[in-house]
Amino acid sequence: AKKHIKEQDLAIVVEGYMDVISSYQAGIRNVVASSGTALTLKQLKLLKRYTKNISFCFDSDDAGQEALLRACENAQSLDLNLKVITLDGYKDPDECAKDSADKWRDSVSGAKYYLDFYLDKQPSGLEAVKDFCDFYLRLLDGVPHPLEKKEYLAKLAKKISLPVPQLEERMESLKGQVTRGKINNADSVEKVGISAGEYLLGLVMHFRGKFDDQIKEEHADLFDADLKNIYKQMASYYNSRACIDDGLLDGVTEEERSKLQVWALYVDNRIGEWSDKDVNDEFWKALRKLQNNCSKRKQIDLTSRIREAQMNGDSKLELELMQKYAKFIS
């Protein structure tokens, strides 16, 4: 996505990888996924290398809106131009893009500056207004530029009919409090968004031409059935051409091709400035993980078949399977 983010001078951050796939199919390519967590400072700094303009579009449920707020808070210190994309009548970008690519594009174009997005909330009743006031003051407290903070403090004062000095006093008393709920420390917990097989395919797709000796067709048996054909096609073309272009993947479907692009995006999100050695080490690490997963599946399958043979009273088959199991784990 780096190329498209640079060209558009905009990064669209969505919550899940289905949102990315549907956006790609709708012709919007400057999209990355947060994998269901709030963006960390490290991830935001990586995006800032390609653009200062970031538009968030997270799910409309409580978890999505909490992730949106955390992302905005994490980004405040980086001097980024943050906007929020709203989807009227849709729960997420995936649903919107599938229904109408034009509506998704229009929603992207109509994104609101994040401080305006939150200021436009319409609380009803005294308690709701008090909660909104405190929420917005805590959000404003994180704004780094004093001129911007002053401007939006004046807008809040006008909205709720209170003098600015009183709001400044209230803001001071709220210092250090989080805006809402607990802070999601995404830096300390890695939330995996794709499988080991998908990650390995993403590596191969992203780092074209770097695995001349590693890509072997016999590795296809390590993959789940739905990924095996993709790997076989990639291995065949990779070994014959030492690179992968979308046009060469004639044996995969359009949906599989789109997924490959998304997995490559996931890899791109994880990496920083990797050397060739780093890339090579990551490949072998991913392959070992895939091999371990495959071994676990085979052990589970053999255990299940042994249990079934025991229940059926088939001692001959049971002995045969147990010998296979002993050989397998030795």
Q: Kindly report, residue by residue over 229-252, the tens digit of the pLDDT.
A: 888 877 776 655 544 454 446 667
The reported pLDDT for the residue numbered 175 is: 78
Averaged pLDDT, 202-218: 74
The reported pLDDT for the residue numbered 54 is: 96
The reported pLDDT for the residue numbered 74 is: 86
- Stated as kind and residue range, the H or E segment containing 235 is helix 225-241
Q: How confident is the model at residue 226 (pLDDT cuts 50, 70, 90)?
A: confident
How far is it, in rounded angstroms, from Cα 128 to Cα 140? 18
How far is it, in rounded angstroms, from Cα 308 to Cα 324? 15
The reported pLDDT for the residue numbered 212 is: 61
200 Cβ contact partners less than 8 Å away, ≥ 6 residues apart: 283, 286, 287, 290
107 Cβ contact partners less than 8 Å away, ≥ 6 residues apart: 57, 85, 86, 87, 96
Q: Kindly report, residue by residue over 259-299, the tens digit of the pLDDT.
A: 777 777 777 766 656 777 888 888 888 888 888 888 888 88
Q: State yes or no: pLDDT of 30 exceeds 50.
A: yes
Question: What dotted CATH number matches 2-114?
Answer: 3.40.1360.10
| DSSP tag of 260 | H
SS3 247: helix
Q: What angle do CA 307, 308, 310 make, to 5 degrees?
A: 65
| DSSP tag of 39 | P
Q: Kindly report, residue by residue over 80-124, the tens digit of the pLDDT.
A: 999 999 998 898 999 999 999 999 999 999 999 999 999 999 888
The reported pLDDT for the residue numbered 187 is: 28
How far is it, in rounded angstroms, from Cα 237 to Cα 194? 24
Where do the domains of the chain lie?
A: 2-114, 119-174, 196-329
Strand ranges for the chain from DSSP E: 11-14, 31-33, 53-57, 81-84, 112-113
Nearest to 86 by CA among 99, 98, 96: 96
